Amino acid sequence: MDIVVCDVGPRDGLQNEPEVLPTETRAELVDRLAAAGLQRIEAVSFVRDDRVPQMAGAEDVVAQVRRREGVELAGLVLNERGWDRFAAAGLDRVNVTFAATETFNLRNGNATLAEAVGSAEAILAAAGETPAAVTISCSFGCPFEGPVDPGIVAELAMRFADRAEVVLADTIGVATPSAVRLLVERAGASGFHGHNTRNTGYANCLAALEAGAGVLDASVGGLGGCPFSPRATGNVATEDLVYLLEGEGVATRIDLDALVGVARWLEGVLGRPLEGYVYRAGTWPPSAA
């Protein structure tokens, strides 16, 4: 069984960091992940610099990234202005995102749920044949409204399923495997974006896989969170997820030793230990190197 592991570290990972990394460092992170065998990388987001300063200069990052055959670079957009920037930058896949709740959309994008869905519709129409994903954040819980009705999420997912991959996001890390399994099946979702806030992220990824998801998001070193969600800590660590998947017989075509090297490099860049475990403990069996 083959799946796509999408590393969102350059976007979702870095957007919650206190410092703003230079564009050349962000581009180098993308390059290192591609060299490790990641087939899909969410490289940037096209959002307002004053809202998420860590993502400023997206076009400069894209311009500095070495393009590799077989590596799909994605960019996240929230509205039509973001789409215009994405289209000009020339990335491979657009990731349109909105939340399943009214309040989170207002806090994150200054739009109502209806307006956010309308923007997603318009972006997909403009995208035409460009590969697209629609990520529904807060699919399992909202920091402002609490538990989310699975029926609403499923309805939103099915609205876009014939035009894009639909990814269900556990933005605040409250989901458990049974909830993930049921909602991925009910919504017919293509992918799952998990956070390990309450230490259920990896089990949730396996549950999503069992339910039919073919795309799993993760972030190198376990970096990440959401600047608009209180106490939303890091994503599932890519190297930990790859170790788990390969051990379970799921082919990722990712060089785990090289990926661990990326996490160790990133630890030096940020000057602190990261949240992942495998890069600290090492792979098993130990590499000959």
Known catalytic residue: 226?
Answer: yes
C-alpha pair distances (Å), 275 with each of 170, 182, 239: 18, 28, 11
| Rounded Cα distance, 74 and 54, in Å | 17
Catalytic residue chosen out of the listed positions 6, 142, 205, 226: 226
Decide: helix, strand or coil at residue 44: strand
**Burial per residue of 161-196, b for 16 or more beta-carbon CB atoms within 10 angstroms, e otherwise:** eeebbbbbbbbbbbbebebbbebbbebebbbbbbbb
DSSP H helical ranges for 128-255: 150-160, 177-187, 201-210, 238-247
* Active-site annotation, residues: 226
